[in-house]
Structure 1
Amino acid sequence: MLEVKGLRVAYGPVEALKGVDLVVPKGRIVTLLGANGAGKSSTLNALVGLAPKKAGSVLFGGRDISGLAPEQIVRMGMTLTPEGRRIFPSLSVDENLLLGGAVHSARGAIGEVREDMLSRFPILKERLHQKAGSLSGGEQQMLAIARSMMSSPDLLLLDEPSLGLAPQVVDMIFELIAGLRAQGLTILLVEQNVSLSLEIADAGYVMANGKIVLSGTAAELRDSSEIQGAYLGA
């Protein structure tokens, strides 16, 4: 579904990505691991047109989307749930969802997707008319994911969905992500919780200093001495 070749991103004189290659097969969860500053978020932002690409290509469904604007990419079926959730706290849960569905031209289509999201995320149905800023951290993360899903994506990019959440809530969010994959959604996951990421992922890549330094199936990465030493405390 997604093939990235030689992706380079620069912020002025600082090169954040130095030739990233990765593949995300349809119907899979692929996780992107690495320390803070490794280039993970820059990769996701570049994929959806939010970071200045210097070189390389991004093929989505066989089409080169490297030069497209973010709204065009979303309409094609790729969307990003950003780090820190970035919901609109002064708006209601419902208003946040409807903004996420703005790519749908028909009002009926928005309504159908909204009902689907409320069935997937029943807590949001209970909180529908509350201000989004009044939700708990876990509820806000569910809202952020549901808002992204309102565009009916084929590929969901998730940036640090467990950030700042209590351990029991993190487990719930990861169960939710695995459930989305079971329903046919393709996911590229950036996450600091390496152990949980490799439990639900099919494959993964490890980044350092703007480059891919290790890749393999989730099982291969779990068994890797580099991963065990650096991330799993072995």
Structure 2
Amino acid sequence: MMTNAIPSSGHLLEVSGLRVAYGAVEALKGVDLTVGKGQIVTLLGANGAGKSSTLNALVGLAAKKAGRVVFDGHDISGLAPEQIVRCGMTLTPEGRRIFPSLTVDEHLMLGGAMHKARGNIAEVREDMLERFPILKERLGQKAGSLSGGEQQMLAIARAMMSSPDLLLLDEPSLGLAPQVVDLIFDLIAGLRQRGLTILLVEQNVSLSLDIADAGYVMANGRVVLAGTAAELRNSSEIRGAYLGA
């Protein structure tokens, strides 16, 4: 039977009672969740459920009204976004948010500015170019001239330049062709295989559950269901609402 808790050996992220308001509108109403080290955990739910607000609050981009965020054993609830990145958590935002007039290489170096050990930036950059060979071919190219899939790869590589322990991914398949979506999801799965922990918000529920270890379902700013990926896939609520069964 599913509950609102996901068992894990060694939580990298523990969130309790997270509340966020935009003016008089309360977007998050006491969210609790955990992400275990090395896991992919997905947040599911309809538009407006609070998924993006959760990610933004975790990295300090949405003002927290209440709640506690513990990352790698440290309370980071009151830290600024740049401090959170240096702690090892970073976000690839919805819509990619690339700078059209900057080159691919300038984006990578921008992402590396928050690296915990600046002497390793060149090494990390080379690693990114190995993981994303298409970006190596486009290093001097303006990011605005890239395809949607290439821009998404750049957004992920930019976030990875800080060498995070936890990557937050917000709608990585948004607006992409199906074959490119498959490529992006293969990439995400490959990042996990190399030890990265990922918290994923994604509109494609089926693909999310294919690569995730566990997930939470959100509605109206609250977690309403949680379980392993297999449990969620077999849930009648999930099948009826998202999987067309």
TM score, norm. by length of structure 1: 0.99
Show structure 1 runs of 5+ residues with no match.
none
**Aligned-residue offset at 1:107:** 5.3
Distance 2:137 2:69 in 1: 39
Instruction: State how 1:20-169 maps to structure 2 within 5 Å.
Output: 20-104=31-115, 108-169=119-180
**Aligned-residue offset at 1:105:** 6.8
Show structure 2 runs of 5+ residues with no match.
1-11
TM score, norm. by length of structure 2: 0.94
Distance 2:117 2:160 in 1: 16
Q: Which of 193, 196, 208 matches 2:204?
A: 193
Deviations 1:78-127, CA, capped at 9 Å, x for gaps:
00000000011101000010000002376541111100100010000001
Distance 2:205 2:115 in 1: 35
Aligned-pair identity (%)? 86
Distance 1:94 1:171 in 2: 25
Distance 2:162 2:118 in 1: 13
Distance 2:232 2:137 in 1: 40
Deviations 1:141-168, CA, capped at 9 Å, x for gaps:
0000000000000000000000000000
SS in 2 for 1:206: strand
CA contact (8 A) 2:86 2:116 kept: no
**Aligned-residue offset at 1:219:** 0.2
Alignment partner, residue 181 of structure 2: 170
How many residues are paired up?
A: 234
Distance 1:19 1:172 in 2: 35
Runs (4+) off by over 2 Å: 104-108
Change over 3 Å in CA distance of 1:186–1:33 after alignment to 2: same
Note if 1:5 corresponds to 2:5.
Answer: no
Alignment partner, residue 6 of structure 2: none
